[in-house]
Amino acid sequence: MGAAIVTGAGQGIGEAIALRLAQDGFDIAINDISAALESAQAVAEKCRAHGVKAECFFADVSSYDECEKMVKEIEKTFGGIDVLVNNAGITRDGLMARMSEENYDKVIAVNQKSVFNMMKFCGTTMMRQRSGRIINISSVAGVHGNMGQINYSASKAAVIGMSKSAAKELGRRGITVNAIAPGFISTAMTDALTDEQKKTMLELTALRRYGTPQEVAGTVSFLAGKDGAYITGQVIEISGGLTI
Ligand code: NAP
């Protein structure tokens, strides 16, 4: 099947994506920021249980230089890069009037610049191969906006524009680029919200339940697999009807 890179795969949605792609038969490069994250090693173990190769590559994806070095190492380890999933992301929520410049810049760097870094370096390898699948994890906040998330929604809206531009640039080389916009998915990121915020999200969700990381991973698997071959430049919302 080839090799897949999943950024921020030490936990949450990234972990579920890594496991699902391993189940599909891809060798997996698990990226996360901290080598101290034992869970990344545990994710690698669980991937290997599917009979594929899996290794951890620790790097801060907001750093251009670290991404360049990591992508070279991954290519050397696996002999190519067939799927890139830009999943790493953070929140630093707050109302615009009170948001610090630091919290604005940090979210843009981790959620948006990282997508440029990784698409640039992996895209070069994929162009040489004349094939590849890139899946960028955006958010419903990037499509519809969200109060208290001006930094986050800016970064996730940018990811959608970047996915469409890259789809146009890379299409002639057989590379697809799509974005997924999840709604409320149960992970450490959403655990941090207040009970009030969680209740509001639930009331706005047509299916009246939160999504699971595995439900996002299922769509990644589809886009990375043979049935997703003619889909590019699209945004797929996985939100239980949060935005209808
Ligand atoms: P999560 O549980 O917080 O996991 C994100 C992972 O990314 C963490 O392991 C984190 O490491 C890692 N990471 C953070 N900064 C990084 C960096 N600079 N370089 C490499 N790795 C980094 O989050 P999640 O809920 O699974 O979210 C995954 C993606 O889905 C994010 O892009 C998020 O914006 C998006 N999303 C989530 C939801 C949701 O409801 N959960 C909804 C819409 C979109 P540390 O923990 O060490 O920082």
CB of residue 210 inside a 6 A radius of ligand 1: no
Q: Which two tokens stand for residue 232?
A: 């590019």
Dihedral sign for Cα atoms in the order 141, 204, 95, 88: negative
Which structure tokens are listed for 154? 């800016």
How many Cα atoms are found within 13 Å in the side-chain-facing hemisphere of 96?
7
What is the strand order of the sheet 3-6 is part of?
54-58, 27-32, 3-6, 83-86, 132-137, 175-182, 235-238
- Cα(166) to centroid(ligand 1), Å: 22
Alpha-carbon separation of residue 65 from 6, 68, 195 (angstroms): 18, 5, 40
Is residue 85 in contact with ligand 1, taking CB distance under 6 Å?
no
Q: Which residue of 5, 6, 33 sits with most ligand 1 atoms within 8 Å of its CB, as the best mutation to test the pocket?
A: 33
CA 148/CA 154 separation, integer angstroms? 12
With beta carbons less than 8 A apart as the criterion, state whether 164 and 233 touch.
yes
Residue 19 confidence (pLDDT):
98
Which two tokens mark 82?
A: 């067939």
pLDDT in tens, the chain (244 residues): 899 999 999 999 999 999 999 999 999 999 999 876 789 999 999 999 999 999 999 999 999 999 999 999 999 999 999 999 999 999 999 999 999 999 999 999 999 999 999 999 999 999 999 999 999 999 999 999 999 999 999 999 999 999 999 999 999 999 999 999 999 999 999 999 999 999 999 999 999 999 999 999 999 999 999 999 999 999 999 999 998 8
The long-range contacts involving 31-36, CB below 8 angstroms and separated by at least 24 positions, are 31/5, 31/6, 31/7, 31/56, 31/57, 31/58, 31/59, 31/61, 31/70, 31/88, 32/7, 32/8, 32/56, 32/58, 32/88, 33/8, 33/58, 33/59, 33/60, 33/61, 33/88, 34/10, 34/58
Q: Does residue 152 carry a catalytic annotation?
A: yes
Ramachandran angles phi, psi of 193, nearest 5°? -75, 160
Q: Which atom of ligand 1 is nearest to the CA of 61?
A: 19
- In this structure, are residues 122 and 71 in contact, taking their beta carbons and an 8 Å threshold? yes
Q: Ligand 1 center to residue 232 CA distance, Å?
A: 24
Distance from residue 172's CA to the centre of ligand 1 (Å): 31
